[in-house]
Amino acid sequence: MSRQLNEPVDAALVPRFAGHSTFMRLPAATSAEGLDVAILGIPWDGGTTNRAGARHGPREVRNQSSLMRRVHHVTGIAPYERLAVADLGDLAVQPIDLMAALQQIEAGIAAICAAGALPLSVGGDHLTTLPVLRALRKADPGRGRLGLVQFDAHSDTNDRYFGDNPYTHGTPFRRAIEEGILDPARMVQIGIRGSVYAADEHQWARDQGVRIIYIEEFARRGPEAVMAEVRTLIGSGPAYVSFDIDGIDPSMAPGTGTPEIGGFTTREAQAMLRGLAGLDIVGADVVEVSPPFDLGGMTALAGATMVFELLCVLAGNAGGPPA
């Protein structure tokens, strides 16, 4: 199938509050065929240990993404001129059976990979990242283990919850390391903070080689220095980018299930995402936007803007407009 560039609805003709609500006001697609990047929703929060609601994330991120325009104001990148992008809709994941849900997500991402498109997904809770990573790993086994750039308040490398549950939104990256999907030596977590269950809670991750940049270190060094380290650490290998919205301070992203005060700002988040330029990103997500706890759509707007920033990074990497 040939590639076709899509453009958002023209806001100079159709007001932003009008029209079907799709990611970035892009056309809705039913298949990833012909796409470079498939933006999709994963409306599932079955791995949430405290306040559920991220299942409603994709709908509200779509709504707020109507405020995005076509061109990045700093880099001048016009992503829709460089990449074939569409809104692939939501994966149909049922909310009742956790193990079945993980399979449904993995299958949905696998189909996107099979079509040759890169998945840029909107969660959903952070456990959704695990089946996404599984699909990416299987789609290209020769590519080797993936690096990870994770923006987050929590390391999400715990082992078990509520007795012996291995799959919650607090465990995905432990599982992904154990399953040989992620290369811990090329993993970095930025913005980690908040009280912990045990003094050695992050020790397992550190023992594997995961680089944890606590918010206190981030505050001292700033986004530019941190991202320089990130680029060195990730290197030229393939990497996934996972943006948990609770990395942002709860005054700017209140709509999330496990808020921790003292986070980074949206401006710092934007600076960090722009610092990803040049990395070999094979997929990305924005997770844990939980509309029932949001205030005035503020968190969904932050999430939508992060999706746009990620898209522009992908487009920047893609080089100039396609011939």
Q: Which is nearer to its own copies, 131 or 147 (CB)?
A: 131
Tokens 């393939």 sit on residue: 238
For its own copies, which stretch binds (CB under 8 A), given 55-63, 183-191, 203-211, 231-239? 55-63
Tokens 């040989």 sit on residue: 180
Interacting residue with its own copies among 47, 108, 119, 147 (CB under 8 A)? 47
Interior/surface letters 218-257, b for 16+ CB within 10 angstroms, e for the rest: beeeebeebbeebbeebeeebbbbbbbbbbbbbebbbbbb
Q: Does 49 bind its own copies (CB under 8 A)?
A: yes
Interacting residue with its own copies among 41, 108, 184, 283 (CB under 8 A)? 41
Spell out the residues 6+ positions from residue 207 whose beta carbon is closer than 8 angstroms to its own.
Answer: none
Largest CA distance in the chain: 57
Evaluate the CA torsion angle 284, 215, 270, 14 in order and state its sign.
positive
Q: Does 48 bind its own copies (CB under 8 A)?
A: yes
Interacting residue with its own copies among 83, 293, 300, 313 (CB under 8 A)? 293
Q: Which is nearer to its own copies, 50 or 232 (CB)?
A: 50
Spatial distance between the Cα atoms of 276 and 261, rounded to a whole number of angstroms? 25
In whole angstroms, the minimum distance from the beta carbon of 247 to its own copies comes to 13
Q: Does 2 bind its own copies (CB under 8 A)?
A: no
Q: Which is nearer to its own copies, 51 or 231 (CB)?
A: 51
Spatial distance between the Cα atoms of 180 and 35, rounded to a whole number of angstroms? 28
In whole angstroms, the minimum distance from the beta carbon of 260 to its own copies comes to 8
Interacting residue with its own copies among 160, 209, 228, 322 (CB under 8 A)? 160
Q: Does 1 bind its own copies (CB under 8 A)?
A: no
**If you write DSSP's letter for every residue of 18-56 in order, what string do you get?**
SS---GGGPPB-S--TT-SEEEEEE---TT-SS---GGG
- Footprint (CB under 8 A) of its own copies, residues 234-263: 249-252, 254-255, 258-263
The residue length of the chain stands at 323
Single out the residue of 129, 147, 282, 158 nearest to residue 209, CA to CA. 147
In whole angstroms, the minimum distance from the beta carbon of 79 to its own copies comes to 10
SS3 233: helix
Size of the site for its own copies (CB under 8 A): 98
- Footprint (CB under 8 A) of its own copies, residues 180-219: 192-199, 201, 214-216, 219
In whole angstroms, the minimum distance from the beta carbon of 278 to its own copies comes to 19
Interaction mask 138-157, its own copies, x per CB under 8 A: --------------------
Q: Which is nearer to its own copies, 178 or 216 (CB)?
A: 216
Spatial distance between the Cα atoms of 83 and 102, rounded to a whole number of angstroms? 29
In whole angstroms, the minimum distance from the beta carbon of 55 to its own copies comes to 5
